[in-house]
Structures are given as structure tokens and as C-alpha cells.
Amino acid sequence: MEYQFSKDFLWGAACSGPQSEGSFPGDGKAEMEWDYWFQQAPELFYDGVGPAVTSDFYHKYKEYAGLMKEIGMNSYRTSIQWSRLIKDREGTINEAGVEFYNSVIDELLSRGIEPILCLHHFDLPMYWVEKGGFENRETAEAFAAYAAKCFELFGGRVKRWLTFNEPIVITEGGYLYKNHYPAVCDAKRAALVSYHLQLASSMAVKEFRKRGGKGQIGIVLNLTPTYCKEPENAEDRRSAETADLLFNKSFLDPSLKGEYPNALVELLKKEGICPEAQAEDLEVIRANTVDFLGVNYYHPRRVTRRSSPFTGPLMPEKYFEEYTYEGQKMNFSRGWEIYEPAVYEIAIQLRDNYGNIPWYLSENGMGVQNEEQFIGVDGIVEDDYRIEFIRDHLIWLHKAIVEGCNCFGYHLWAPFDCWSWKNAYKNRYGMIRVDRKDNCRLTVKKSGRWFRVTAEQGGFS
């Protein structure tokens, strides 16, 4: 076989608690930021669909697990909802939440699917939002206590843990670009939130190590490899370096190396937005780097130097402009560039500059609108575009592995169609179709069939 992967390679997919379970008030779950924001401003959400039902994983997890097995998955990442497990700031446990996550873990394990659990996927409970969210250092401490509780409750059966999913998106979504709650634009608050998110992640790693248990802990970072338009131009190169510092290295370096890049600290100081870090907190960050990394990769970032001075409140775009070019390969539906070689370049970076840390591609996927138009005569979504997308990325991943990169798996976003924040059900990503008009009826798409064969063979030709 031309593209053969190792026997223990992870073939799987990822989703999250808030995007799949549904909220279902009455089961003891507390309110989290998206429940609240949807109530405040439903018009911001595509088709007016909020997080109440999503894909009904809360009730249908057994059926989902069966189908995951059927499409060949040997691993599944989801997240625990903090607001489902813990009811309030005092740390009162919601027994129904414990029971639910125990049942999900049991169900997955009984089918030979490894559960990989993330502790936070954009879903801060309102009882901490009310206290200032991650602008408040107390929230970082509370996160570490919640993490410790999860390790105690589920640690015996879960081998791989992740602290946060895409912490930079929490910062940019909530505090720069208004895509997440609290939807403000304030670079100083953004920098503080980023710092506390990193601290919270490192504190959770510390709790994990304290228990001395089995298993490993990592973090999921969405990496956007940054390419400049005119590499021969020094200013252009600088614009790409700055974007890379702000969007990639701001979490990559402290999480993997235990320290912030000097150039980032200098930049934040120059702008007057550098958070005041306590020496003991920096020591926690230094001493608690992760065991492995999850890389979410969707698209690269193309930048060039600014053509005109930046005005308005401070934003990353002060340092670069994004550009598009003719012939750029785009997802025909989602508007994101498709650039597969970036997977290889990320791998080489991690091999050469980050100690060849073990990592896996924890999200990669192709969102498509109105996917029902691709339903064939047999009632199956004929998503050949998704098969091609996965294959093309795996080819570059394979090349990287052959060249000594330490990548141990591929997870598609997502196993099944799921709710996606303000985009709700606009873009479908799954290998399993969820028909929301028909009581969330589930059908395997063509990509699911292809994935099964690929996973069984451990590769493809």
C-alpha cells in the first residue's frame, strides 16, 4: 500500500460536548455562555438555532457510538461540559452529569473506541462568566480544580486528556472579533484572557501530574501556518512573523516550551497591553509543559505588509493585511482555503523546533452548506469532496511521518453533523448525516464508508 500508517495510528474524529449533547435544562446542568448568549440574541445565530438540542448526543450516544464503530473509528475526542459536571462556584457535583460521562466512556470503550477527553471547548459556565471569565485569575484556579475533579472521576479509564480546545479562539472570538461571548473588541482584555487561559492549562497539567496517574495530557491548538506574499521583502516577512507570534506561538511556546517568545512579550509591552505576570505563575507555566499536542488545521493565513496605516482600536491587523490570490484552492462552500502541504510544514516545525513532541491532527475537515443536494438515489450523501479532502491531507501527513515526524493520528472534524456556535447547522462536517427535520435521524455518508475501509487497512493506495 502506498500510504500505510502504523498499526496503532489513531483513526477517528472529534466533536465537543456543547456542540453535540444539547443543554436539556432539568438534568442538573448549569447554564454556560452559549446558552445565555443565545437567549440574549437569538438573531445572531444561523437560522435562529441555539445549543438546546444540537445533535441530541445526550440521549442518542449509544446509537452514535455504534455508528462510529461502523465507520471504523478507533478513537473519539469530545469534551466534558464543565457546566454539566459542576453546578456552581462552590463545586457542587451534578450526579446526573457524572453518570452521563461514565456511560459515554463505557459505551465507547466497550466498542473499542478510545475516548479522548477535552476539558474545555469554548463553554465557560455562567457562574464564572459572571465573575469576569478568564479575565479573572480566580477562573484559572477554578478550572484547575474542575480538571482535578475530572481526573479523579474518570482518570482510570481515560488515557489521553486535553486541557483546552483552541484557546486563541476564545481570545479572538470573545475579545477581538465578536464571534464569541462577551463579543467585545479590546486588545488589552484579550491579552489578559490569553495569559489566564495559558495559566489555567498549565495549572491543570500540574494537577494531572500531582495525581501521578497513568495517561497523558495535552492541549489542542489551531495552527494557521502563515505565508507572506513577497518573501523577498523584509517588511512582508515581518508581517508574517508577527501574525505567527500572535496566533500560533502565543500558546505553542508556553504550552510546549514553558515560556513566551521574547518578541511577543516585547510587542505586547510596546502596545501597553502586556499582562502583569506573577513570578510563581510563570513558574507554573515553565514547569508544566504538555505531553502531547493536538493540532487543529483547517486553512493557512496569507499575509502581506500593510498598504495604509491602521486606524481604530488595536487589532492584530495593525501588523499585516490578509490577501487572496487568483487560483487559490478554496472549499467550494465554506470559503476557506484548502492547502494540504501546510500539514507537512506544521509537522516539520514540530519536529525541528519543538523537540519532535508527539502530536496528532486533532481536527481537519470540510464544511459544506446544503449538503442534502448531494444525497444520491440510495439516500446517502455522496460526499466525494470530503473523501478527497481527507486523502489529500493524509498524503502530506504520511510524507511527514516517513521523514521522522512524531504524528500518531488523524481526527476528522466531525464524526457526525453538529452545531457550530453562531454558524449553528450551516456547515455540515460529519461522516454521519444528522437529519434534524426527522428527529435527528442518522445515516452514514459515503465518506464514512470510505473511512472504514481506510482505517481497517491502515491506509490507502
Residue (54 or 222) nearer to ligand BGP, CB: 222
Instruction: Tell whether residue 179 is a contact of ligand BGP (CB under 6 A).
Output: no
Instruction: Tell whether residue 417 is a contact of ligand BGP (CB under 6 A).
Output: no
CA neighbor of 364 nearest in space, from 451, 299, 267, 431 = 299
Residue (331 or 406) nearer to ligand BGP, CB: 331
Listed ranges 31-39, 126-134, 162-170, 435-443: which one lies at the site for ligand BGP (CB under 6 A): 162-170
CB 3 within 8 A of CB 461: yes
Q: Which alpha helices (H) appear in 212-294, and where do they start and end?
A: 234-244, 250-257, 262-270, 279-287
Give dist(CA 375, CA 452) in Å, integer.
20
In the complex, the smallest distance separating the C-beta of residue 39 from ligand BGP, rounded to whole angstroms, is 20
Instruction: Tell whether residue 166 is a contact of ligand BGP (CB under 6 A).
Output: yes
Instruction: Tell whether residue 448 is a contact of ligand BGP (CB under 6 A).
Output: no
In the complex, the smallest distance separating the C-beta of residue 409 from ligand BGP, rounded to whole angstroms, is 17
Residue (124 or 169) nearer to ligand BGP, CB: 169
Which residue of 423, 443, 458, 459 would you call a contact of ligand BGP, by CB under 6 A?
423
Instruction: Tell whether residue 244 is a contact of ligand BGP (CB under 6 A).
Output: no
Please report the DSSP string for 336-385 in residue order: -B--THHHHHHHHHHHHHSTT--EEEEE----BSSGGGGB-TTS-B--HH
Instruction: Tell whether residue 78 is a contact of ligand BGP (CB under 6 A).
Output: no
Instruction: Tell whether residue 222 is a contact of ligand BGP (CB under 6 A).
Output: yes
CB 50 within 8 A of CB 18: no
Q: Which of 33, 166, 172, 371 is catalytic?
A: 166
Residue (54 or 454) nearer to ligand BGP, CB: 54
Give dist(CA 349, CA 252) in Å, integer.
11
The DSSP call for residue 403 is T
CA distances from 35 to 72, 124, 226, 264 (A): 33, 10, 34, 34
Instruction: Tell whether residue 165 is a contact of ligand BGP (CB under 6 A).
Output: yes
Listed ranges 52-60, 164-172, 321-329, 431-439: which one lies at the site for ligand BGP (CB under 6 A): 164-172
Instruction: Tell whether residue 81 is a contact of ligand BGP (CB under 6 A).
Output: no
In the complex, the smallest distance separating the C-beta of residue 31 from ligand BGP, rounded to whole angstroms, is 19
Instruction: Tell whether residue 21 is a contact of ligand BGP (CB under 6 A).
Output: no
Instruction: Tell whether residue 363 is a contact of ligand BGP (CB under 6 A).
Output: yes
Helix or strand holding residue 303 (H, E): strand 301-304
Instruction: Tell whether residue 281 is a contact of ligand BGP (CB under 6 A).
Output: no
Which residue of 316, 367, 409, 415 would you call a contact of ligand BGP, by CB under 6 A?
367
Opening angle at CA 424, ends 421 and 429, nearest 5: 100
Residue 70 annotated among the catalytic residues of the structure = no
Residue 363 annotated among the catalytic residues of the structure = yes
Helix or strand holding residue 95 (H, E): helix 95-110
In the complex, the smallest distance separating the C-beta of residue 122 from ligand BGP, rounded to whole angstroms, is 7
Listed ranges 131-139, 144-152, 240-248, 421-429: which one lies at the site for ligand BGP (CB under 6 A): 421-429
Instruction: Tell whether residue 427 is a contact of ligand BGP (CB under 6 A).
Output: yes
In the complex, the smallest distance separating the C-beta of residue 59 from ligand BGP, rounded to whole angstroms, is 21
In one letter, which amino acid is 251?
F
Listed in sequence order, the residues at least 6 apart from 376 whose beta carbon sits closer than 8 Å to its beta carbon are 382
CA neighbor of 249 nearest in space, from 263, 235, 234 = 263
What is the 3-class SS of 121-159, one letter each residue? Answer: CCCCEHHHHCCCHHHCHHHHHHHHHHHHHHHHHHCCCCC
Residues in contact with ligand BGP, shown as a per-residue x/- string from 106 to 145 under the rule CB under 6 A: ----------------------------------------
Q: How many CA atoms lie within 13 A of 222 on its CB side?
A: 18
Q: Which residue, judged by CB position, is nearest to ligand BGP in the bound state?
A: 420
Give dist(CA 163, CA 256) in Å, integer.
13
Give dist(CA 274, CA 161) in Å, integer.
30
* Residue ranges in 318-337 that form contacts with ligand BGP under rule CB under 6 A: 334
Q: Which of 21, 135, 172, 363 is catalytic?
A: 363
CA distances from 281 to 72, 94, 204, 206, 259 (A): 43, 30, 13, 12, 11
CA distances from 267 to 245, 263, 409 (A): 10, 6, 35
Listed ranges 131-139, 194-202, 386-394, 416-424: which one lies at the site for ligand BGP (CB under 6 A): 416-424
In the complex, the smallest distance separating the C-beta of residue 298 from ligand BGP, rounded to whole angstroms, is 7
Instruction: Tell whether residue 413 is a contact of ligand BGP (CB under 6 A).
Output: yes
Q: How far apart are the first and last CA of the chain?
A: 5
Residue (366 or 444) nearer to ligand BGP, CB: 366
Beta-sheet pairing, 3-4 with 10-14: unpaired
Instruction: Tell whether residue 364 is a contact of ligand BGP (CB under 6 A).
Output: no
Instruction: Tell whether residue 420 is a contact of ligand BGP (CB under 6 A).
Output: yes
Task: Provide the binding-site residues for ligand BGP, judged by CB under 6 A.
Answer: 16, 19, 165-166, 169, 222, 296, 334, 363, 367, 413, 420-421, 423, 427
Catalytic residues: 166, 363
